[in-house]
Structure 1
């Protein structure tokens, strides 16, 4: 069993304060604030970090599906667009749109799309988030 760690420190009140997030092994450190989360201010925010985690996990899951299907020398690039909307329950991640492009020599679009769907269903972060947020997928091969 793996346990991964991340931390956050916040100083000040909600609208004027600021904070820093860090991953446990020091691979990622970022500043965040009210403005970076709810406006267009500098820094990161929890929703971007969820998007990065989801894009990374999905890309690895798709890479495994491609390898299992016999594809070699592949590359996958994924963007996750996290929708953070006001609902009756408050601000909520309502949807994540995954957009992935693969370079997979010798594979056709239909097979790539099918394997991407399998990866979406089996990616651990998708499984974590799908009960609360709708996850969409757009998958295509690079031209």
Structure 2
């Protein structure tokens, strides 16, 4: 089993405190985040955008793998994942949705790309991880 980790360090209260995120690889190191960056739209990072980045990256790789398995070499796959956090959920904020917007440029019939895109949405390991409604829009060309 491949295992990767990230670390969060939080200091202070929820609203007045601050945290820093660091990934095992060191690509992200001491990335700051606060209540304001997560819930109030302040400039800066938050866990949901990092989940979105993981989802988009995983999806693009998985779609590429499926296309390659069909002999299709994609020129470009651009995936954006928007994570929806409902801060008013009883029991605490809850991630409720993940919406993929995908643009694919590949030498293949549109119907085939759309079929593989749906398979990738269902099979992407991060899609499977999310206990949320995962939706998607795909553009070919």
Q: Which TM-score applies when normalising by structure 2? A: 0.93
Over residues 76-104 of structure 1, what are the superposed CA-to-partner deviations in whole Å (9 max), with x where a residue is unaligned? 11000111012233211101100110110
Separation (CA, whole Å) in 2 of partners of 1:88 and 1:80: 25
- In structure 1, the gaps of 5 or more residues are none
RMSD of aligned residue pairs (Cα, Å) = 1.1
**Which residue number corresponds to residue 141 of structure 1?**
140
Question: Pairwise mapping of residues 70-109 of structure 1 onto structure 2 (< 5 A)?
Answer: 70-85=71-86, 86-105=88-107, 107-109=108-110
Following TM superposition, the consecutive aligned residue runs of length 4 or more in structure 1 with deviations greater than 4 angstroms are: none
TM-score, normalising length: structure 1: 0.92
SS in 2 for 1:37: helix
Tell me the distance in 2 between the aligned counterparts of 1:137 and 1:63. Answer: 16
For the 8 Å contact 1:112–1:139, the answer to whether it is kept is no
